[in-house]
């Protein structure tokens, strides 16, 4: 049935890795079903027959498709089918895209589509790692031109030892989660989150993963050799060398003059007449290739910037190689928000706003892993005005989702636990101006915002990027790259962390990979830079988290009750908890383990709700004092509800410190009174005393003879009280 079916097997981190080809998706350019443990993913790669017209980039799309049947779930949407990609799926697509993209020919314009369809998930075998290897195999055995293969693994740090592809249990206690992709010789991609891991440990972990990757690359090469298709030729879309040289000879001095400024707006204005002059001179010379003149000018700018850096150690804005642009930090820019902080680095500026919410505000997740909620959320917005352009907002794209996730990962290790700070925390980073490394500016702005909001973070976090220029065996790195150095350079190595260690890394490359020497130098330079940012700019702005929350932030109290009492707190059809919320102007979240979170803008309202809940959850004790509501009046006394479903009698002789002749003269239905429990009879009925509570709490002095009223006995009192309790039971 499947004459071309082949099966290849190896072992990765003690678990079987099985690749099947020639059976599924036979019309794709290259395809394989990859099984790692019980994680199974169909990976395909297909290329269009002709180049796409009118584009000046390589059109690659990478899709990581989550199928909820892979974990035995039915989608929670109305249609009960998968919709747009989740944020987790988008992040997985990006982590696969980054190491494979630089290995395609830069002058190819044929569309290439890569799809990884997740069909089964074993939580001990991460699907994104499995998919990365599977995609590499699918492209390698296809006819698509590509200078791979690559391989990828995750490395953790468990009990002081590196672990490749840690299991779910190991990931829970790992000090770092680092994804490393490699070619046969070089490190092609790094994506890391860590609990303040030092540079040396991080470097050693990356190299440990790189060594394992090289073994997998050899395994993939064996598959490629046996079943791979010949790579097909393609039509290069690069301008001819003689065309570039002609433009270079004519415009190089004008380009140098235009680029030599630290102001992006000035640079853009200076370049406009250069483009006009080039077109005026060469449109008639190359009438069939007019669009390629812009490509020549782009390549010329890249040539100038790279020559300045490599040959003269000169940066376009005049900085030294390890110098940062002017820095600034501010807090409290917005009046009614819970916290705000703005960080500016040159022409890059990000404002982050912190919002504190209740436990119920946590984000619900419907994905392939076992994470169901998220209480720390970071969103990143990149409007067109931030780069001086105009286009309609269409919601967050892959870049916005990726940068928000990077900032979230960078700050997650310092976010206090739910027990320490029982709030849902949402950060929104608004990019106000962009000229390089906005993701790391958002890390700095977010730290300022969190501390201004009074969130007790464990340590301040700063982020910075490191760039790279390579030529043969020569290389040079520079700190705090701006836009041109990112566009025309070979690397954007983003590192965030505290003074103690790294919390996040994301490495974007335009070349095949990095040597260990480059990685080590980048880690050292980014550490020195982020310490400088913290010491000289951020900490002088705000040295530590504020001790109190904003007056506009919700105030929260917590308690924990016996799980058997949860039903009493909620009440039939939620009536009890709804009544508490209405009376105390608060919001209450009840967890399955009996944890209760009470949130209100007024702390006194929260305290009142807490008292009611604790009264319901705990049996009243003789001698305890409560605040209750008068519910009924009788000739012999008043009934007071000290909590929903818990009511007792205050005899007329115990209503006040002075003599009371008529109950109506002392209290009315709906009055709030303080009472003391004086007796609990055999049937659980409560006898209360307002008189004793007033004496104890307010120091009231009893009137002589006020307590000589004889208690009235008889069926009326006992029967009424008993019937009332029976109804609540």
Q: Which of 676, 690, 612, 605 is nearest to 644 (CA)?
A: 612
**Torsion angle of the four alpha carbons 454, 455, 459, 463, in this order, in degrees rounded to the nearest 10:** -100
Strand 376-381 to strand 176-182: parallel, antiparallel, or no bridges (unpaired)?
unpaired
Q: Classify 675 as helix, strand or coil.
A: strand
Q: Classify 216 as helix, strand or coil.
A: helix
In angstroms, the CA 421 to CA 102 distance is 43
The per-residue pLDDT for range 120-129, each reduced to its tens digit, is: 999 999 999 9
User: Taking the model in full, what pTM does it have?
Assistant: 0.85
H/E segment holding residue 160: none
Q: Which of 278, 280, 311, 273 is nearest to 293 (CA)?
A: 278
143 Cβ contact list (under 8 Å, min separation 6): 29, 30, 47, 229, 230, 231, 232
pLDDT mean for each 10 residues of the chain (729 residues): 93 97 96 98 97 90 96 87 91 97 95 98 97 98 97 98 97 97 97 97 98 98 97 91 95 95 91 95 92 93 94 90 96 97 97 94 85 93 92 88 96 95 96 94 98 97 96 93 92 97 96 95 97 98 96 92 90 90 92 91 91 84 88 93 87 91 92 92 89 82 56 39 32
pLDDT score of 79: 85
Cα-based angle 389, 390, 394 (whole degrees, multiple of 5): 120
Q: Which of 382, 393, 391 is nearest to 437 (CA)?
A: 382
pLDDT score of 394: 80
Fold entry, domain 625-728: OB fold (Dihydrolipoamide Acetyltransferase, E2P) (2.40.50)
Cβ neighbours of 407 (radius 10 Å)? 31
pLDDT score of 704: 58
What six digits make up the tokens of 390?
A: 């105009």
The verdict on domain 327-541 having CATH code 3.30.230.70 is yes
Q: Classify 21 as helix, strand or coil.
A: strand
pLDDT score of 708: 46
Q: Which of 612, 622, 674, 675 is nearest to 645 (CA)?
A: 612
pLDDT score of 727: 27
The CATH classification number of 241-312 equals: 1.10.10
pLDDT score of 291: 87
CA 571 → CA 568, 584, 645, 648, distances in Å?
5, 17, 9, 19
Query: How many Å from the N-terminal Cα to the C-terminal Cα in the chain?
Result: 71
The CATH classification number of 6-227 equals: 3.30.230.70
In angstroms, the CA 589 to CA 227 distance is 58
pLDDT score of 718: 39
Angle subtended by helix axes 127-141 and 199-227, to nearest 10: 40
661 Cβ contact list (under 8 Å, min separation 6): none
pLDDT score of 707: 54
Cα-based angle 305, 310, 315 (whole degrees, multiple of 5): 45
List of E strands, 413-473: 424-433, 462-471
**Torsion angle of the four alpha carbons 200, 205, 206, 208, in this order, in degrees rounded to the nearest 10:** 120
Q: In what order do the strands lie in the sheet with 555-560?
A: 555-560, 595-600, 587-590
675 Cβ contact list (under 8 Å, min separation 6): 625, 626, 627, 628, 640, 642, 648, 650, 688, 689, 690, 693
H/E segment holding residue 239: none
Fold matches, 6-227 and 327-541:
yes
Extents of the domains making up the chain: 6-227, 241-312, 327-541, 555-617, 625-728
H/E segment holding residue 171: helix 168-173
Note whether 12 and 111 are within 8 A (CB).
Answer: no
The CATH classification number of 555-617 equals: 3.30.1370.10
């Amino acid at each position: 049935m499947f004459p071309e079916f082949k099966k290849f097997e190896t072992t990765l981190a003690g678990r079987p890795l099985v690749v099947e080809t020639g059976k599924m998706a036979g019309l794709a350019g290259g395809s394989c079903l990859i099984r790692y443990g019980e994680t199974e993913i169909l990976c395909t790669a297909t290329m269009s027959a002709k180049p796409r017209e009118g584009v000046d980039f390589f059109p690659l799309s990478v899709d990581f498709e989550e199928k909820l049947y892979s974990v035995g779930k039915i989608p929670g949407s109305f249609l009960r089918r998968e919709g747009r990609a989740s944020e987790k799926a988008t992040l997985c697509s990006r982590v696969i895209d980054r190491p494979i993209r630089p290995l395609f020919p830069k002058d190819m314009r044929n569309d290439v589509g890569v799809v990884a369809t997740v069909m089964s998930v074993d939580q001990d075998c991460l699907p994104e790692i499995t998919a990365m290897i599977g995609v590499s195999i699918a492209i390698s055995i296809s006819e698509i031109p590509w200078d791979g293969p690559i391989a990828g693994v995750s490395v953790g740090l468990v009990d002081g030892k590196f672990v490749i592809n840690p299991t779910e249990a190991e990931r829970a206690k790992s000090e770092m989660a680092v994804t490393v992709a490699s070619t046969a010789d070089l490190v092609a991609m790094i994506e890391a989150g860590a609990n303040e891991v030092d540079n040396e440990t991080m470097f050693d972990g990356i190299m440990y993963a790189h060594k394992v990757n090289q073994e997998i690359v050899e395994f993939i090469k064996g598959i490629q050799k046996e079943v791979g298709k010949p790579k097909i030729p393609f039509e290069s879309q690069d301008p001819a060398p003689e065309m570039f040289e002609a433009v270079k000879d004519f415009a190089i001095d004008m380009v140098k003059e235009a680029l030599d400024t630290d102001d992006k707006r000035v640079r853009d204005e200076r370049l406009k007449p250069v483009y006009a002059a080039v077109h005026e001179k060469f449109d008639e010379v190359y009438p069939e290739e007019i669009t390629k003149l812009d490509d020549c000018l782009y390549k010329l700018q890249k040539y100038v910037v790279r020559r300045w850096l490599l040959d003269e150690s000169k940066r376009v804005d005049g900085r030294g190689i390890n110098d940062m642009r002017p820095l600034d930090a501010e807090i409290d820019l917005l009046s009614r928000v819970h916290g705000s902080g703005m960080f500016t680095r040159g022409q890059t500026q990000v404002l982050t706003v912190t919002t504190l919410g209740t436990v119920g505000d946590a984000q619900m997740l419907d994905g392939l892993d076992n994470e169901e909620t998220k209480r720390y959320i970071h969103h990143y917005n990149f409007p067109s005005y931030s780069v001086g352009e105009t286009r309609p907002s269409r919601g967050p794209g892959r870049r916005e989702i990726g940068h928000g996730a990077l900032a979230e990962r960078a700050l997650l290790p310092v976010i206090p636990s739910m027990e320490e700070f029982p709030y849902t925390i949402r950060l929104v980073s608004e990019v106000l101006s962009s000229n390089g490394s906005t993701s790391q500016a958002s890390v700095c702005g977010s730290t300022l915002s969190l501390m201004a909001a009074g969130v007790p973070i464990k340590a301040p976090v700063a982020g910075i990027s490191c760039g790279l220029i390579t030529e043969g065996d020569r290389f040079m790195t520079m700190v705090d790259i701006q836009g041109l150095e990112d566009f025309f350079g070979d690397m954007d190595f983003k590192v965030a962390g505290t003074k103690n260690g790294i919390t996040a890394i994301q490495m974007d490359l335009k070349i095949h990979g990095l040597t260990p020497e480059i990685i080590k130098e980048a880690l050292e330079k980014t550490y020195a830079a982020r310490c400088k940012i913290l010491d000289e700019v951020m900490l002088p702005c705000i040295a530590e988290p504020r001790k109190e929350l904003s007056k506009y932030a919700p105030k929260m109290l917590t308690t924990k009750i016996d799980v058997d009492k949860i039903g009493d707190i909620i009440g039939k059809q939620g009536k009890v908890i709804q009544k508490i919320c209405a009376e105390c102007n608060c919001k209450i979240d009840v967890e399955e383990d009996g944890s209760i979170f009470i949130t209100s803008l007024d702390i006194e309202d929260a305290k009142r709700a807490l008292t009611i809940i604790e009264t319901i959850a705990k049996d009243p004790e003789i001698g305890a004092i409560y605040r209750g509501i008068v519910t009924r009046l009788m000739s012999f006394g008043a009934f007071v509800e000290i909590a929903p479903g818990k009511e007792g009698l205050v005899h007329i002789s115990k209503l006040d410190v002075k003599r009371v002749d008529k109950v109506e003269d002392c209290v009315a239905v709906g009055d709030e009174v303080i009472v003391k429990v004086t007796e609990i009879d055999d049937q659980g009925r409560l006898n209360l005393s307002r008189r004793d509570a007033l004496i104890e709490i307010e120091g009231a002095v009893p009137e002589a003879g006020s307590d000589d009223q004889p208690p009235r006995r008889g069926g009326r009192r006992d029967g009424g009280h008993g019937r009332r309790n029976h109804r609540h039971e």
